[in-house]
Chain A
Amino acid sequence: MIGTGFKKRSTNKDTLQLIVLFSMLIIIILIAGILKPGFLTTKHLITIVHDTSILGISAIGQSIVILTGGIDLSVGATMLVADAVGAYLLGGQNRIIPILICLALGLIIGAINGAGIAFLRIPPFIMTLGMMALLTGSIFIFAKTSGFASPILRYLSIEKLGHIPFLVIIWIFLTVIMTIIMRLTVFGREVYAIGSNPIASYHSGVKNKKIIFFVYVISGLFSAIAGLFLLGYTGVPELTYRGGGLGIDYTLSAIAAVIIGGTIFTGARGGVERTIFGVLVLKILFSILTMMGMSGSGKLIAQGLIVIVIVGIYMKLENIQGFSLKIRK
């Protein structure tokens, strides 16, 4: 945090970063359009965006957490818990209570995370890592991998309003709401203040602990929402265990998307609205690589390279003053 705490937030660099991101998005799409003529059709682009929305929703919560200088590793696990519990309780019928239970589950998981981080002062990385382990264990012990999504959930996740899928509308709506909250309310400004310098914010009267607590609660809620829509999108619960922990793929993709969007780990730079671009860049690149007929291993390599290169460009733009870029983990 040396040198960054007192630096004035330069709007020029923020705009420049956004321009880089935006032009990168356009260039990628254009190149893909030239290479594969089928890419640049409206229908295909909408399909890609539709595919992206679930990751987008879970990344909203993650970006707020990262804005405070924290990290939430339990996003994917919370998603899959909501997914499995929702499927089991819904059982293919339109019921409101199971949906509410899932959302409450997200809130509770978030609240436990928040309480551990804010009141017991466990570092966010460890708290959410432990939470992920707890959720991984409990879901495989208690959950039944059965059940279906309710028709309404399925309708909302798959069907379209005109040409635009409902899911995309929901994603944009949630992002707009969160952007307004983050940019225009006291809560949002306090989140940025904590991310920028927690000691300074504490001494200027921000209730650090309360804000941090609610940030993780919000993250849990958004993960649960994303999990429910994932259930609607696939129809049946997804409970595959792919090493490391429950839903670790979703978690890491969400973190990568947030970082590509220009929100940085040290906190207070970037915003929820940026994450849209991050998610889109990540997903469009993937879909291009798939269209080029690249194998799974090739895609992994490309993903790694892309993440490193994009963040490398940002760091070049940032031109951090001072020596270190220490993370408050």
Chain B
Amino acid sequence: MRIRKIIGEWYIYILMILIWIIASLITPYFRQTSVFMTIIVFSVPLAIVALGQNLVILSGRIDLSVGSILALSTVVASITMKDNLFIGISLPLLLGALIGFINGIVVSKFRIDSFIMTFGMMAICQGVGLLIRDYPGGIIPSTYIHFILKESRNIAIMPLSILIIVLLVGEFLLKRTNFGRSVYAIGNDDLIAYRSGINVTFIRTAVFTISGFTAAVAGLFLSAVMASGDATVGALYPLDSITAVVMGGTILSGGRGDYKGTIGAVLILTSLVRIFNLIGINIWYTYIAKGLLLLMIVAIRMFGVKQEREAVL
């Protein structure tokens, strides 16, 4: 029973290690540290976005606007950063948090469905981003890029530590704070949460604000990777972050799940792209692998919950 529980909690990491072992058996290139470092660097933005998305999904809602907030953040950074690094970092973050706050306030106060609200916000942010910069460009200072992508002895120290810090922050926020418990409570049943004295409106707004903020943080990281700003860079992120969160074991209707699983899923998703690249398989196969993995994991998980949901779909 104990083993089953451990497997239930860490299955995504077991899967990840299996994939890595198979990949390193197939291709010798995969055994180099530099490949792992690339995987880490490309995992960081998705992992940061997925933290916000994870909170939103745990609270029983969904956020489609993360991608365009991320893109807008790279655009704003690419314009402001060359004059003043402090403003260049804080302005995108503030903007992201503000957009998230608007999402949250409308979803919780006016009760517009989060899918529609964030879908509208996605279009608005994308429009604003394209208005500011309709083709990729801009200047990101090289000092900033070197700081963010700092390497020593082939190990990308900075991205790796960002990933670990984000993982620790996410787990701490969800498991060790009042706020995290309130998010779980709201996701399970917000009426009961409300009756037990949780300020549902506040928590929900905060969750969306954090989601906007994390998307902006990811944008700042990505702007260092791309060394420019691009208003269309975020298109993949909403659905990819949802995929990662769900693959990691969080239930889409909210209330159950954690963040460490999401990180595992993010690592798997980015590893797949790398592995397929190294083996020389057509890159579109990653989509098939992604879809199949997602469906298989969820189907297997749904196999476990049998009786209670027989009638309910």
Contacts and interface: CB of A to CB of B under 8 A. Distances in A.
A126 B127 contact: no
Given A140-B284, A325-B111, A121 B309 contact: yes
A116 B124 CA distance: 34
Given A133-B290, A298-B127, 8 more contacts: A121-B302, A122-B302, A130-B295, A300-B124, A308-B116, A323-B200, A327-B60, A328-B313
Contacts of B134: 297
Interface residues of A, number: 72
Nearest to A118: B313
A305 B298 CA distance: 34
B interface, size bucket: 35 or more
B115 A322 contact: no
Interface string A299-329: 1111111111001100110001011111111
A260 B120 CA distance: 12
B124 A323 contact: no
Contacts of A212: 313
B124 A305 contact: yes
B112 A308 contact: yes
B294 A137 contact: no
A168 interface: no
B287 A117 contact: no
Interface of B: 60, 62, 67, 106, 110-113, 115-117, 119-131, 134, 189-191, 194, 200, 232, 235-236, 238-239, 242-243, 246, 252-253, 282, 284-292, 294-295, 298-299, 302-303, 305, 309, 311-313
A81 to B, nearest CB: 13
A31 to B, nearest CB: 21
B292 to A, nearest CB: 7
Contacts of A328: 253, 312-313
Given A304-B122, A324-B190, A129 B294 contact: yes
Contact of B123 (A198, A307, A329): A307
Contacts of B238: 244
B311 A208 contact: yes
A303 B121 CA distance: 9
Which DSSP category, helix, strand, loop or mixed, fits chain A's interface?
helix
24 contacts: A68-B313, A71-B115, A123-B298, A125-B62, A130-B295, A133-B288, A133-B290, A134-B288, A137-B289, A140-B287, A198-B313, A202-B311, A203-B311, A243-B232, A297-B127, A299-B127, A300-B124, A300-B127, A301-B127, A307-B123, A311-B116, A323-B190, A327-B60, A327-B113
Best-surrounded residue of A127, A198, A297, A329 (most CB of chain B within 10 A): A297
Nearest to B237: A244
Given A129-B294, A300-B126, A209 B282 contact: no
Interface in A264-322: 264-265, 295-308, 311-312, 315-316, 320, 322
Q: Which A-B residue pairs are the 10 nearest by beta carbons?
A: A243-B235, A137-B287, A133-B291, A300-B127, A304-B123, A301-B127, A304-B124, A297-B130, A137-B288, A202-B311
Interface string A99-134: 000000000000000001110111101110111111
